[in-house]
Amino acid sequence: MIGRYALFGLILFACRDAGTGALRAGLEQLGVGLLWYFADVAATGAAAIFVAVQLAHRRMLGLLLLAGLVASLAAALAFMGPRPLMALAAIKMILPVFSGLIFFQRRVDESVFTVAVLTVLLVALCVSALAEPYAAYPWADTGYQSFSGAKSAVKYWWQQGVARYGGLSGDSALTAAMIVFLGALTAPRLPPTLFWALAPICGGALWLTTSKTGLIAFLVLCLLRPLIVAPAPAFGAHAVLRVLASASFATILAPPLMMLLFSTVDSETLPPLFASFADRAVTTWAAPFLVVADIDPSGLVTGCGLGCFATPMRLSERAALSTPLDNFHLTSLLMFGPAYLLFLAAAIIGLARETSRAKLALVILFNLYGLTVQAYAPSFLTMMAGYMLSGVFSEPRRASAPRSEWASSVKSAST
């Protein structure tokens, strides 16, 4: 039962984020805009399931995670002001992670139906991006009002002024992320011929989004796929992926190293490939930490709270201090404080018993993507953060366990 609910939530978030532009415009025109939040309602149910399972099995790491989120929400209210709308936005921001966490030892590619739906979504998203230079989508270049404030599609790349195409989602960065992670979820199950036939289509769509991170991540996915689908004993594929997944958390060290490197380099002499990294290292990554250190130094120890320097902060009393922080680990470190490093250490140790090579590959891709994306939005990326570590919050799967292990909702969390 838990497995089916998890798949249901994943399909909801995948469909919603892949078709953000078209779906949001359609729901608004039909006067049923509240249906947009149906996936968040499902995520609330996932949070309840996760809490129940962790309490039932007394999983220490899961209980510490829950306690940390509650403490972080309290810190957010203290740092950003006790505004109910901000608190609700912070809770809504973190809910999708529970839709990923309740997969436990379940894998997306175990469901043929889910893989089929995600593959159709992937193709539709790529085709819509490839067709956009020749079509005028009604949802492109338009803004809309959401729970977290006004949003609009970004159409031109600041660095070179070239068009950025978003297809169905209406946002180029979102489209790029969805292509990479839909591709990662379906890759283990797709026949080789189909995967490699789709690869150049995905690459072409990613090129039109101008997302360098997306292109690099998809190339890494193509390189990892032989390890993901190789027969279990072949080449020690599982051991290689486990080592690479654990090592990929070293990307948390990249921002401070880049800050040191680019602070001594003239950014105007850099090639376009590194210009956006230089801009982040010099102007954006350090700024939020300096703001917290200036107005409330204790926030560097306790964290400035759930939603801090993310979308919920725009609804707080300190909205004027908000600055962009497009790096997943830096944002998490700022929100949760040094305790986040302890959680990462525990998660890395937990990966030693991860049985799914597909999830290990997803860890690598997520850590790579998180270098330039905050990943607390869109919701699908937040869900992927939970999905890739879901096995850490369950008991190790026994080799002799039958496939019917998911018949019992509580028992499924311990197999």
Pick left, alpha or beta for residue 192 (phi over 0 → left; psi -120 to 50 → alpha; otherwise beta).
Answer: alpha
C-beta atoms surrounding 127 within 10 Å: 14
- Residue 355 near residue 397 (C-beta atoms within 8 A): yes
In the predicted model, what is the mean pLDDT of residues 12-18? 95
C-alpha span between 97 and 387 (Å, rounded): 7
Q: According to the model, what pLDDT value does residue 141 have?
A: 60
Q: What are phi and psi of 335, to 5 degrees?
A: -70, -45
Burial class (CB in 10 A: 0-12, 13-18, 19+), 98: buried
Q: What are the φ and ψ backbone dihedral angles of 21, each rounded to 5 degrees?
A: -65, -55
Q: Is the per-residue pLDDT at 162 higher than 80?
A: no
Question: Which helix (H) or strand (E) covers residue 44, if one does?
Answer: helix 38-57
- pTM metric for this prediction: 0.89
Tokens matching residue 414: 């311990």
Find the mean pLDDT for residues 21-46.
Answer: 90
Written as one letter, the residue type at 182 is L
The pLDDT confidence band at residue 233, using thresholds 50, 70 and 90, is low
Q: How distant is the alpha carbon of residue 345 from its chain centre? A: 19
| Coil/strand/helix, residue 109 | helix
**Residue that is written with structure tokens 């009002």 in the block:** 145
pLDDT tens figures, 316-326: 999 999 988 98
HSE-CB at 347 with a 13 A cutoff on CA atoms is 24
Mean pLDDT of the chain: 86
Tokens of 285: 């990554």
User: Kind of pairing, strands 149-152 and 143-146?
Assistant: antiparallel
Is residue 316 within 8 A of residue 83, CB to CB? The reply is: yes
Rounded to whole angstroms, the Cα distance separating 204 from 182 reads 15
Interatomic CA distance for residues 275 and 43, integer angstroms? 37
Please give the distance of CA 111 from its chain centroid, rounded to a whole number. 21
| Closest alpha carbon to 314 in 42, 96, 19, 83 | 83
53-102: pLDDT as tens digits: 999 988 899 999 999 999 999 999 999 999 999 999 999 999 999 999 99
Whole-angstrom Cα distance, residue 264 to residue 273? Answer: 18
- The pLDDT, as a whole number, for residue 148 is 39
Kindly state the DSSP code that residue 170 receives in the 8-state scheme.
T
Q: Whole-angstrom Cα distance, residue 379 to residue 161?
A: 28
Please say if the pLDDT value at position 157 is more than 60: no
Q: Which two tokens stand for residue 22?
A: 């078209």
pLDDT in tens, 359-415: 999 999 999 999 989 999 889 999 999 999 999 998 654 433 333 333 333 344 433
Whole-angstrom distance, CA of residue 82 vs CA of residue 48: 24
- State the maximum Cα–Cα separation within the chain, in Å, rounded to a whole number: 60
